[in-house]
Amino acid sequence: MFIVESYGLAVLFCVVTMLCWGSWANTQKLVQREWRFELFYWDYVWGIFLLALVGAFTMGSMGGSGRPFLADLAQAEGGNIRSALTGGVVFNLANILLTAAIAGAGMAVAFPVGIGLALVIGVLINYIMHAKGNPVFLFAGVGLVTLAIILNAVAYSKHSGGTGKKGVIKWIVVSVIAGVLMSTFYPFIAAGMDLENFVSPATGKMTPYTAFVVFAAGILVSNFLFNTILMRKPLEGAPSSYGEYFTGRFSVHAVGIVGGCIWGLGNLFNLIAAGKAGPAISYGLGQGATLVAALWGVLIWKEFKGASKSVSSLVAAMFVLFVVGLGLVVAAGE
């Protein structure tokens, strides 16, 4: 299987993760006027599962290093499989809430608050489990990201003041809940892998390719519960049905599948990089997606259009803090 051999390449893979995780939501924005996010989310989940399988049977099965996908899956211990499955379930619940917040508040708000919070808590959890990297740089970077999240929430609150305080608080709260849940999924996947040796993984442990397939299966199976509930009792708007889903245009379905594949590619590269960079740095850099998503939201989708000078200053300060904070996270692994 393909294995990352250098820290520089691991950082590059994490940058790809950051771009993918910060960009997939654009596919939802493209179809949200005619396609409820709950229906979009089904295609998105299928896209993740498809990408995981493609990665496992290509990069995860070629070459002489490590264990090929099918052999690795056959020898994996039940506890490690359950751990990756649990990670998929936790991620799915978090991501459904995040997707709802994107639909309600936009990318420039939901990502910095939700995923930014996930970065902060997730880095702490992953570092405690696998201490790798300079803790001073790592936590200083996390501190700056935390401040950036606060500035973003304040900016959104000021900018949306005319739409009613209740609506503002609602989507910030949903984003916070999503972020807390999102911060806990990665350790479940990491626990099922041998992060110290991808070349000759310990017996019973999984390679990142196998762990991703099991994780994606957890997302897919849990979606029958979580998304069905949300379709019938949505956070906002009228309920939707499976009848609507199956009558959707092919092009609309394709956009959602592409969105899932984009996120899945980022996750695959992140797991591959974790062996060399360590899960705390790998996860932290990947969740720099908050910066990418905020840029999409502000520059392309104009989610802060017409903002006052004070709000624009807060948004600009948020970007600066994110960039510096992520730079310190990268430096932590040198």
Residue 167 pLDDT grade (very low, low, confident, very high; cuts 50, 70, 90): low
> pLDDT tens for residues 27-40?
998 998 899 989 99
> pLDDT tens for residues 274-283?
988 888 788 8
Residue 169 pLDDT grade (very low, low, confident, very high; cuts 50, 70, 90): confident
In SS3 terms, the chain reads as: CCCCCCHHHHHHHHHHHHHHHHHCHHHHHHHCCCCCHHHHHHHHHHHHHHHHHHHHHCCCCCCCCCCCHHHHHHHCCHHHHHHHHHHHHHHHHHHHHHHHHHHHHCHHHHHHHHHHHHHHHHHHHHHHHCCCCCHHHHHHHHHHHHHHHHHHHHHHHHHCHHHCHHHHHHHHHHHHHHHHHHCCHHHHHHHCECCCCCCCCCCCCECHHHHHHHHHHHHHHHHHHHHHHHHHCCCCCCCCCHHHHHCCCHHHHHHHHHHHHHHHHHHHHHHHHHHHHCHHHHHHHHCCHHHHHHHHHHHHCCCCCCCCHHHHHHHHHHHHHHHHHHHHHHHHCC
- More confident position, 106 or 12: 12
Q: How far apart are CA 258 and CA 266, in angstroms?
A: 13
CA distances from 20 to 90, 167, 263 (A): 20, 29, 5
Output the average pLDDT for the chain.
89
The predicted pLDDT at position 23 comes to: 92
The predicted pLDDT at position 253 comes to: 97
The predicted pLDDT at position 148 comes to: 85
Residue 221 pLDDT grade (very low, low, confident, very high; cuts 50, 70, 90): very high
Residue 168 pLDDT grade (very low, low, confident, very high; cuts 50, 70, 90): low
Q: How far apart are CA 90 and CA 227, in angstroms?
A: 13
Tokens of 54: 């493609």
Q: Per-residue pLDDT for 104 more than 90?
A: no
Single-letter code of the amino acid located at 224: F
- More confident position, 292 or 90: 90
Cα-Cα-Cα-Cα torsion 209, 218, 126, 94, nearest 10 degrees, comes to 130
Tokens of 190: 């990491």
Q: Which among 2, 10, 174 has a CA at the least distance from the CA of 102?
A: 174
> Rounded mean pLDDT of 77-87?
97
The predicted pLDDT at position 281 comes to: 84
Single-letter code of the amino acid located at 258: V
> Rounded mean pLDDT of 233-249?
93
